[in-house]
Every structure is written in C-alpha cells, then in structure tokens.
Structure 1
Amino acid sequence: MYQEFHRLLDELDRLITEAREHEKHDPDTALYYYRKSLNIIISLIRVTENRETSERLKSIGQKIYYRIEKIKGGRLPKRMGEGVIDKYINDAALEVGVPLNTDEYNIVIKPIYSYFKTDVKEFGKILSFNNIKRTNPVLGEIFRIVELRFKRIYRDLSPNYCALLVGPSGTGKTTFARSLMGYIASLCKKSGRKWVYVEIDASRLLGMYMGQSEKTTKAVFHTINRMLEDGLNIGVYFDELGGLFSKKAAAINASMGNVLNIFKQETGRLIDLAMRPGGTRGFLLMLASTNYPEDLDENIIRRFGGNIVYVGLPHKKEIIFLIKDRLSQLKDIFIDLSEKDLDEIAAAMRRKLYSIHDIINALERAKDKAALEAFNKGEKPVLNKNIIMKTIEEVNATNSRERIEEMEKWLRNRGVSFRSSLD
C-alpha cells in the first residue's frame, strides 16, 4: 500500500509537470494531463487514511480544476462570492470519488448547484410573519420560535431548530419553509452574516445511472457538513420525503434502499448537531415535509426526535383572511362582498375541506367566470357571492375526508398534539 501510494504521487507530479509545460502552446494536451491528474488524486484520497494528507490532495484538486476552467475559458457560477460554493461542492465531488470536469461530474455533481441558494430573491414567494400567523397559527408559532433561537434570546436553548412538517396537500408547507428561510436570510444580510439555503426535492436524488443517487446524496450532505464546520448559517429543507423515503420504495428499488441508508445516517448526524448546544458554529435550521407520513420509514421519522408538526387545513377564520388577502390582489374587477357573504363563503369552503391551494384555485376560477359573464354582457366584471358559491360547488377539494382521518389517526397514535382539520 505504501509503495502504491508513492507510485501514484510520483505519477501525479509527472502529470502536473507535463500539463504545465503544454499549457501555453498546446492547451488540449494540457487538459488531457490535468484530467488524468484529477483521477490520480481521487485514487490517492481513497487509499490514504491521513486526514491532513487528504485535505492537501483536495486542495491540489481544486487548483487543477480551476486551471482546467481557465484553459477552457469558462467561468464558474457566482454564489456567495466567486468560487465559494464551488469550493465546497468540488471538495464533495472529490470526497465521493467523482473526477472534476468529466461527464460523471456533469451528471452527478452539477445538479447539486440548483439545491444551494444564497440570494433572497431565489427563495420564491416569501410571506411575512403576520401573514403566516393569520393563515396558520401553528406555523406562526414555529416562525417565532425559530426567530428567537436565531437571535439567541434564550441562551440555554440550542439556537438550531429541526422539524418534520406533516399535513395534507396544498396546506402551505413548502411556502412556509421558503418564507422562513427567506426571513432568516434577510436577518443574516442585515447583520452581515452569510446564509445558505438548501432545498432538496427528495425525488430528484434518484438518478438513472448505477451509483449516481448514492454519490449525489453523499455529496450534498458532505457539502452541508463542511459549510457547518466553517461556521456558515444554513437552512436545509427536504421537500416531499414520502416520494423517496417510503417503506415500499426502499423495498422495491435497491438504489432507493442505499440512498435511504445514507440519508438516515446523514440526517441523524445533522439533527444531532442541531439539537446539541454548541453542536454547530453557525445556525442550522432543518425542515422536511411529507403528505404521507404513514408511508415513511420509521428510522427517518425517529431521526427528527419526535418533533413532528401537523400543518392542517385552514379553519373558518383563516379562510376569511385568505379570501380577503387574495381578493385584495385582484385588479380590474369589482368586488361585491359583505362580511356576511365572506362568512358564508368561508363556511362553504370549510365544509368541503378546502386547502389553501383549493381556496386560491376556487377564487381564480370564480374571477374568470365573472370576467367571462361580464364580457358576454358587455359590462364591467363583478365578483359576488353567487359566482363564488357556484364555483365552490364545481371545485372539489384536493384531500378527501378519509385521507385526512387516516393522517390524523397516525398522528394520534404517535402522541402528537394538534388541531384537527375536521373539527
């Protein structure tokens, strides 16, 4: 092993020397030697057990990668300052054995860039605390808890936070996660602190090539862990866990089973860091969501330490707020609704078990219906109670009563306290 290691070192030195000699007058040959040297570095990292040596090899690999980019005339994406995100992701690529600047790198590693966001504008629609609180009081409480922890109001609490969001489709779990991440990002920006938001759709971790999913998953977590080690503030959101980490999926697909095992190990490590006072130098906010908690692997649920939050359907008061908020955004249409009308509309939506998505969908369809009727009559469009009530009769809810009952039964069996969507 010792002789093989030094043989590879000598070969690496020879390749780098050859590449430098050809760089000015023969760029293509230089690229060839640089790429071969990256493969040697990966082989060396695999055989060495010395962490310091491994780090030095990764550093050399980074420099070679940038030489390759310079020769090609390419430019790495700007995120958190030139090359900072690239440094972490390329380090992860070397860690999982993916040569930089290769087809495998493009397939396995490049998609990871889309997971990491540093600009508030990339977070999508961001709701204020007041909007969240009035839409869903439970999420409003989480919003405030996370804010207090981030600002370290209570020194005896871990500043970090993690939770599994469980609820029917269309209840705003993803919008809430992005809004919370965006709010923390704005606080970091004001205080001059760096913030990275990582949003991972679990189903996207699966690739079509053998071993791709495992390497991608390892690289994502390696990148997150290294950022935490360096004291960066990080928000991690796993969207739709049930799409990948279900009991059935792991049993059917061996690749899913492998990814599931990696995910369990790595999330366990992250949650342990999040819950342990002083576990991270930076702030770690970790959220995950699912519409089918009963299908999740038990080990995944256990990793969240029992911190399960039920994001249920909006009740009547919240529906009225949602209707008013949505109608206030409409232009070129006259709203003819009294408080009594709003109360009756909200009651009808509540009876049909409308989610936030269903409410917005029904109002959009009612608006279109009002516009069409006005166009046929040659009048100005008016949105009134009758049009909305007719639309409610036509628009079915996304979630059935049976589905919600099944989910709430699962929550009760786990001892989770929550406000029922069926009350």
Structure 2
Amino acid sequence: MDTLAKLRAGQLAGLKRLDLSCGLTEFPSEIFQLADSLQILNLSGNALSSLPDDLHRLTHLRILFCSDNQFTELPQCLGQCAQLSMIGFKANRIGSVPGAALPPLLRWLILTDNCIEQLPEELGQRPLLQKLMLAGNRLQQLPRSLANCERLELIRLAANRFTELPDTLLALPGLSWLAYAGNPLREDASAQRAADNTPNIDWSQLELEHTLGEGASGIIYQARWNAPGQPVQSVAVKLYKGSITSDGSPINEMNACIAAGQHPNLIKVLGRVVGHPDNQAALVMELIDPSYINLAALPSFDTCSRDVYADSTRFTGDSALRIARGIASAAGHLHAQGICHGDLYGHNILFNAQGECLLGDFGAACFHATDDSPHSRALQRIEVRAFGILLGELLERIDSGLSDQQRNELQRLQQRCTQPDVLARPGFAEVANTLDAL
C-alpha cells in the first residue's frame, strides 16, 4: 500500500517525516491529521503550485521541501509557520519572494534554479539565517538588509546576473563559503589561458569500468586509459552533468579544476576529454589510492552549514598538523592562481592514516583577480574563515601528540582565522608559515 493511501486510511499517526511524490496537484488535507507530530514534510517532485493558507496548523513543522513543482511564488503561508527553519523550493518557476513568506526562525533557504530577480528586505530581518542557496536565478543585487545577517555562513550566487559583488556581502563576519561563478563579473583572463593549455584525451582511448561515486555535478568512474605508445593506465573519469547544481554550473567546476594547476594536495588533472559521442564534458584525473577516505560527512539538517564527523574520527597531533598544512598550502596555491575553492570543508578532503590529504570537489570554485586589492583580499579571507573552522574541528579530535604550547598556538591561529573582521584575518601564506613553525 503506497504512502498516500496509508495517509488517507489514517495509518500514519505519530509520523515525524512524510515523503509524498506521486503527481500531486493539490495539497492533501489528510496531512493535517499529523499536526501533532509532523516535523519534516517532503512534497518534491509533484505538480503543486500552491499550499493551504492554514499550513501553520502543522505546529511542529521544521523542514519543508517542495522542489521540482510548479510554484511561481514562494507561498506567503510559510511565514506563519512558527517552527519552520528550513525551506527548499529548488527547480520551480518562482519569480516572486514576498517578505511575508519568510518564517521568523528561518535558518536555511533553498531557492536554486528559479526565475527570481529580487529578494525582499525582510530577508535581513531573519537573524538565524545561516545558509542561503540562490544559484541559477536572475538576481543582480541583494537586499541591503542582508548586512544584518551576522550568522550567515554559506551563500550560493552562481549563475545569476551580478556585475559586481556587494561590499556588504564581503564584510559579513560569519561568511565562510561563497560561490559566484557564472555571473557577468570581471574575472581574471589568466585562468582561462591556463585552461586552454590542458591536454586533450580522446574518448576512444578510455574504457569505463565501474562507478566510484556520484555527486550533484557528475559521475566519477574508474577507467583504463589506452594512450598511444604508452602503457595502459588506471585513471578516474568524471562525466559532468549539464544542469545547474546548488553550487552552480558543472562546466564552471570543470574549468576551475583545470585552471587550478598541479599541487601535491590537489587531485591531479591529466586531461580534458574530447570526442564524447554525446558531447558530454569530462575530465581524466589520477586515480586515488583506496587508503584515502573522506575526512567528514556532509552537513545534516541539524548542523546546517557544519560537517558531521564520525565519533571514531580521531587524530594524532602529527597527522592533524599534516592535514592542516596540506590544505592551507593547497588553498594558498589556488588563491595565487586567482581561484577561491568556495567549498573548503572536511567532506571535500580525502586523507589517510598518515595525514596525507587531498582537497577535491571544485563545484563552488570561482575566479578572482590576482591583485592585492581589498576586494580580492576579502574573497580570500572569507575562505580563510572556512579553514579556521576546519582547524577547530581537527583540534577537537586530537587525542595525543600535541604539546600544550602547540595546542595554544593552534587555538590562537584558529581564532585569528575566524575573527569577525574579514580583512584582519591572515592570508594563507601566513597561515602556512605558522603551521610550518609548529
């Protein structure tokens, strides 16, 4: 018996999470039978264009997903839901976002891939706002009131119509993860020149074997590379999808990955695929040794913008320092190329037992000028805050091998990296020097 039938038969009493994707054109009134328990409601993948005005009767509702529907306006009834903190309306037809639609406890707002040209000033009156996903819209500016959102840590603005990034955005004290590729901004052309020097690898030379992983921007396969006159080599091949992700365009990701160049703590790009039968964009990369694992898991509904670590994840002082040094060095290298990673997180870091590490996933990466202007420094120092958060997470999980002096030095560095004054944070060259001295 399917979920909707069970709901209508009254068999789901006490349910905390309800998922319904069955071609709905109207909100099922039977959902209100769950008003005393329902906390998460997922109505994605239907044909809905409205929600009931009395949605606030779901008094325990914390999370609502209505992606892949037919909404043209963010429903104003959401603003009356007292406990609602996470809202997802990705891939609708939304052009209007009324201020009244924003609930008072709003923490995480997903409006990716819509038609939004303007956001209301009320957005800056939501003090708990921590994560804001706006890629793939028609925005040219942000509300001035966003300067009040001191808890905002992650914002995705890729594939919009910004001609410049607001200074108020770059001064936000908590901002750590920013993506803005695919806007008509002035970007450093040297990054494109670097991309043009990448070797081409013909699709006919590649033999896909099995899937290694899949993300929002594409699928990674293990493959055999039969280069003419060379021994057969095991490699990884990433086939990029064409659609907008929460971070931005997969093609922007590929260009940034290429332009990053080579560094011991970045996954090596061997070449760009040409001649795919469907003209699909793809990269050939080095195959990572299976001893490497992810440092952390993706953020959860509760942690919002912060990674989730397994209870068993512990480090020696030496391995934690090697991870910190490696990532600081990689990020400094990227900044020197005019690239911000945009997603410097534990879940995008692979590491092994010795503390050797690799920074991956360029889905949120963006180009910037390589000058030393306040604008470029601010973009880089935003990423330094992300590193400071990572350093704090490492420090919390060190069991042994750090002297009191080393721990104190690392804590001071962590505090400097995360201080609210963006331009007062150290650059990655100074961060790396401090870590080397330890």
What is the TM-score normalised by the length of structure 2? 0.29
- Higher alpha-carbon Rg: 1
TM-score w.r.t. the length of structure 1 is 0.30
Which structure carries more helix by proportion? 1
The structure richer in strand per residue is: 2
